[in-house]
Structure 1
Amino acid sequence: MRLSQLVGPRKSEVAELPDPAPAADQVLVEVLACGVCTSDLSAWRDHDPAAAPLRLGHEIAGRVVAVGNQATRWTEGDLVTGLGGEGFASLSVMDAAALLPVPAGIEPAHAFGEPIAVLEEALSRSPVAAGSRVAVVGLGFMGLGLLQLAKRHAPGLILGVDPDPVRRERALSQGADVVFAPDELPAEYVGKSGHVADARFDVVLEATGVTPGLATAGRLVRPFGTLNVIGYHHAGDAKMDMDLWYKGVTVVNGFCPDRTRTIAAMAVTLDLIAQRRFSYAPLVTHRYALDQVDQAFADMETAGPDFVKGVVSSTRG
Structure 2
Amino acid sequence: MRAIRLEGVGRLALREVETPVPGAGELLVRVGACGICGTDRHLLRGEFPAAPPVTLGHEFAGTVEAVGPGVAAFAPGMTVTGDPNIACGRCPECHRGRVHLCRNLRAIGIHRDGGFADYVLLPEGQAHRLPDGFDPVHGAFTEPLACCIHGMDIAAIRPGETVVVLGGGLIGLLVVQLARLAGATRIVLVTRSAEKRVLAERLGATETVDPATGSVEDLVAGVHGLLPGGADLVVEAAGVRDTVEQAPRLAARGGRVLLLGVLPQGEKVEIEPFDLLFREVRFLTSFVNPFTHARAAALIASGAIHVKPLVSRRIGFEEGVAAISNKAPGGEIRAIVVP
TM category (shorter chain) comes to: 0.7 to 0.9
Alignment map for 1:26-175 (pairs within 5 Å): 26-46=26-46, 52-84=52-84, 85=108, 86-104=114-132, 106-112=134-140, 113-175=142-204
Query: Under a length normalisation based on structure 1, what TM-score does the superposition of the two structures give?
Result: 0.88
How far does the alpha carbon of each residue in 1:138-187 deviate from its partner, in whole angstroms, 9 at most, with x for none?
Answer: 01111011111111112110010112222222211111100112345362
How far does the alpha carbon of each residue in 1:187-241 deviate from its partner, in whole angstroms, 9 at most, with x for none?
Answer: 2734xx7xx9943000111101011111221111111111100001121123333
What is aligned with 1:311?
A: 336
Match of residue 320, structure 2, among 280, 287, 293:
293
**1:179 has 2:202 as partner:** no
**1:204 has 2:230 as partner:** no
Residue type matched to 1:303 in 2? P
What is aligned with 2:111?
A: none
1:226 is paired with a residue whose SS is strand
Alignment partners' CA distance in 2, 1:303 and 1:115: 20
Residues 79, 134 of structure 2: 8 Å contact kept: no
Structure 1 residue 46: Cα displacement: 4.6
**1:271 has 2:298 as partner:** yes
Alignment partners' CA distance in 2, 1:254 and 1:46: 22
Residues 256, 281 of structure 2: 8 Å contact kept: yes
Residue type matched to 1:103 in 2? P
Question: For this pair of structures, how many residues does the alignment match?
Answer: 300
Alignment partners' CA distance in 1, 2:76 and 2:42: 36
Q: For the aligned residues, what is the CA RMSD?
A: 2.2
1:13 is paired with a residue whose SS is strand
User: Which stretch of structure 1 is more off in the superposition, 240-249 or 144-153?
Assistant: 240-249
What is aligned with 1:229?
A: 259
- The alignment-based identity, stated in percent, is 30
How far does the alpha carbon of each residue in 1:30-81 deviate from its partner, in whole angstroms, 9 at most, with x for none?
Answer: 111011110121222359xxx9534210111011111121221110111100
Quickly say closer, same or farther: Cα 1:46–1:274, change in 2 above 3 A: closer
Gaps of 5+ in 1: none
How far does the alpha carbon of each residue in 1:93-149 deviate from its partner, in whole angstroms, 9 at most, with x for none?
Answer: 111101111134530110122111011111111121211011111011110111111
User: Which stretch of structure 1 is more off in the superposition, 267-276 or 135-144?
Assistant: 267-276
Alignment partners' CA distance in 2, 1:2 and 1:40: 18
Residues 79, 133 of structure 2: 8 Å contact kept: no
What is aligned with 2:271?
A: 240
User: Which stretch of structure 1 is more off in the superposition, 27-36 or 239-248?
Assistant: 239-248
Residue type matched to 1:253 in 2? T
Alignment partners' CA distance in 2, 1:140 and 1:121: 18
Query: Under a length normalisation based on structure 2, what TM-score does the superposition of the two structures give?
Result: 0.82
Alignment partners' CA distance in 2, 1:277 and 1:220: 28
User: Which stretch of structure 1 is more off in the superposition, 231-240 or 22-31?
Assistant: 231-240
**1:219 has 2:249 as partner:** yes
Residues 83, 293 of structure 2: 8 Å contact kept: no
Residue type matched to 1:269 in 2? A
Alignment partners' CA distance in 2, 1:67 and 1:171: 41
1:173 is paired with a residue whose SS is helix
Quickly say closer, same or farther: Cα 1:312–1:171, change in 2 above 3 A: same
